[in-house]
Every structure is written in structure tokens, then in C-alpha cells.
Amino acid sequence: MGSWRGKLPHISAERMWQFSGPVGGLSFMAFPVLATVHLAPSGATLALGLSILAAFSAVYVYGFSRSTRNRTALFSLAILTVLSALALAQYLLLGPALLGLLYFIAIWALIELRWPWAVLVALTCIAVMYTQAGPDYALPLLVVLLMMIIYRISADYYRKMRDLDLQQTLLADRERVGQDLHDSLGQSLTALSLRLQVAARLTETDPAAAKREILECGDLTRGSLEDMRSTVAGLRTASLPQEIADARATLSHSRIRLKVSGDYHHIDPRLQTPMAWVLRESVTNVIRHSGATSCTVSFGPQSLEIRDDGRGRAPQSSARQDGFGIPGMRERVQSTGGNLSIQSDSGGFSVTATWSSAP
């Protein structure tokens, strides 16, 4: 039987911050609850009214919990329809005193819906409040909605500025790659072309010298490939699900069993790429150096551990303390705000990468 935590919708730290305020506003649900207790003419009506408020609160929170990537127009329409139906049921049950639920509907719409629909829903809530309860109730709602509009404009501005920063960073990387390719590969390919021309002229007059030139061209080509790998390394990305599939296939060919635990599908996308690089390098080390028969990969929301049951590292081998590509892994993890730790004993070798927050 699976853990109940795995069935809850994943909520990133950023998403949690975004809706913590509106959901925290559920404390004001105390007013509809008190009105229901005060106005209910019987125990049955009271139970029904409180049940409606509980259902309304649950749908309201669930509407915020779904991330933007997983939310469709049909989902938003369904949430809005259910909230409106529950508010109407409470109004028909106990009268205008329960129109305070319109506050929650309007706030949800202004945060979750696209601008035209959000404004339409908010204005509709104000109109219903004004006609059914009077201006004394409609005016506070108008003030609250104006504050929410300011909040949304600020959030949209912050999001656009963040996207602009990402675009500028990508542009800077492209310019760096272009300059590096021009400085390294341009020069190397020019030298390669000249030496091949020399080798062609020497093939008949001095075959030994021609052979030396061709061998040196091979060395030059390998050096150029290394330069190209170093240049593009900063732009290459890795897919975490693909790396897991590749690790399973590669370890299987080496007769090493792989066990994967944790829900890696819901890890913050900004952590998936560095986790994928750590997984790739660690699996390579397991195959080349461990002599293991099994390997366990464990995922947490902001952590990754790769552990094998191999021979580990000999304590006296201080020269190998940071071998097996570990410096590269540590540098990549630290560049994204994380920390890499290594443990080795007679029971095997483990690599653990942790992040306090997404980069």
C-alpha cells in the first residue's frame, strides 16, 4: 500500500509562496461559519450548511494547489462552477448573510484565471453582492479585489523580469560559445587543413614524414574535440527520466541490479538537470570502479542518493579521495546551490547531492 504523501499534488516552494496568502485567507471563513451557526433554524440545516462550507473550502484550496503547467481551461471552469454552485446552495439555504463566499470566488478568479475572465468574474461577484446585500457589503469587496489586482500585476511583472533575466543569461552563454568556437576550433581547423596539405605533398617524396604529419593531425583532431566538448558543456542539458532509463539499461548489461525509490516525476524542474548529471557520472563510476552487484537510487524532493554494494574506497588511498569524476560532480552541484557528500566503507560507496532550495 503506497504512502499517502505520494498521492498529494506536488507544490513547489515558489507555488506555495504564491497561494499561501489567499489560502491563509481561509481564516476569514470563520465569518460564514458563525453566520451559519447563528442562522440555521435546525440541527439538520446546520449540518448541511457546515458541510457546504467544508466542501467549498476544500475545492478552493485544491484549485490553488494545481500548478500552472497542469491546469487546463476545463479544470479552471470546473473549479469556478463548483465554487459558484456551493455558494448558491449556501445562499438558498440561509440567505444573503452567506454571500461572503463571493469574496473567495473573486480572489480565486483574480489569481488563477486569465485577465479577461478574471475581471469578468470579479465584476459579477461585486454586482451580485451590491444587488443582494447592498453597497455596505459590495464596497469592501471592491477594495479587496483592487488589492488583489495590484498583487497580480506585481506578480506578473516579477515573472516577466525573471524570464528576461533567463533570456539574457542564455544570450550571454551563446555569445561565449560563439567566441570560444571562433578562437579554438577556427584555429585548430585551419592548422589541420594546412598540415593535411603538407602531408599530401610528402606522400610521394617522403612517405615517413607524411605519416608523421597524418599522426599529428590525429592528435590535433582529438584536441579539437576536447575543446568543443568543453565549450558546449555549459549548454548541454540532461533529462532525468531518460538518465534513469539509460542507467537501468547500462547497469543491466553489466549485471548490476538497479532499484529506484522516490517520486522523481514531481521534482522541481530546475533540480532535474543537475540531478541527471550526478546520476550519469555516478552510474559510470559504479560500472567502472565498484565491482558491485546492486545499485540503489533514492530521490527526495531536493535530494538524490546513489549507493552501491561494491568494494568502496580503501581508506589508505588518499590519492583517490576525489577520483572517479567526483570534482566535476561537486562543481556542478555547488554551481546550482547544492552540496555533494561522499561516503565509502566496506559495505559500498554512496554519493549524496542535496539542495536547500531550487536554483
Residue 64 domain-assigned (yes or no) = yes
Query: DSSP secondary structure string, 66-128?
Result: S-GGG--HHHHHHHHHHHHHHHHHHHHHH-GGGTTHHHHHHHHHHHHS-HHHHHHHHHHHHHH
Q: How many helices (H) and strands (E) does the chain have?
A: 11, 5
What range defines the domain where residue 344 resides?
240-355
Residue 176 domain-assigned (yes or no) = no
pLDDT for the residue numbered 231: 62
Residue 53 near residue 33 (C-beta atoms within 8 A): yes
Residue 145 near residue 110 (C-beta atoms within 8 A): yes
Residue 142 near residue 107 (C-beta atoms within 8 A): no
pLDDT for the residue numbered 234: 54
- What CATH number is attached to the domain comprising 343? 3.30.565.10
Alpha-helical (H) ranges within 206-325 are 207-232, 240-253, 269-285
Cα 332 to Cα 193, 220, 233, 278, 286, distances in angstroms: 36, 28, 11, 8, 19
Distance from C-alpha of 101 to C-alpha of 106, rounded to nearest angstrom: 9
Q: Which of 76, 106, 133 is the last residue of a domain?
A: 133
Neighbouring CB atoms inside 10 A of 304's CB total: 27
Q: Which of 114, 133, 152 is the last residue of a domain?
A: 133
Write out the chain's pLDDT in tens, 359 residues.
Answer: 444 444 444 444 445 545 555 566 677 888 888 888 988 889 999 999 999 999 998 998 888 776 555 567 788 889 899 999 999 999 889 887 778 888 888 888 888 788 888 888 888 988 888 888 788 878 888 887 888 788 778 877 887 888 787 788 777 767 666 655 655 565 567 667 767 887 888 888 888 888 888 888 887 788 777 767 766 665 555 678 888 988 887 788 778 899 999 988 888 888 888 898 888 888 888 887 788 899 999 999 899 999 999 887 644 443 334 444 677 788 878 888 899 999 988 788 999 999 987 66
Residue 107 domain-assigned (yes or no) = yes
Distance from C-alpha of 244 to C-alpha of 242, rounded to nearest angstrom: 5
What global pTM score does this model have? 0.42
Instruction: Count how many domains the chain has.
Output: 2
Q: Which of 75, 110, 133 is the last residue of a domain?
A: 133
Q: Residue 258 forms beta bridges with which residues? A: 295
* 237 secondary structure, DSSP code: -
Residue 33 domain-assigned (yes or no) = yes
Report the DSSP pairing between strands 294-300 and 257-261.
parallel
Work out the angle between the directed axes of helices 43-65 and 30-39 (0-180°, nearest 10). Answer: 160
Same domain, 9 and 124: yes
Residue 126 near residue 142 (C-beta atoms within 8 A): yes
pLDDT for the residue numbered 232: 64
Distance from C-alpha of 312 to C-alpha of 298, rounded to nearest angstrom: 18
In b/e form, how buried is each residue of 259-276, taking b as 16+ CB within 10 angstroms? eeebebebbbeebbbbbb
Residue 283 domain-assigned (yes or no) = yes
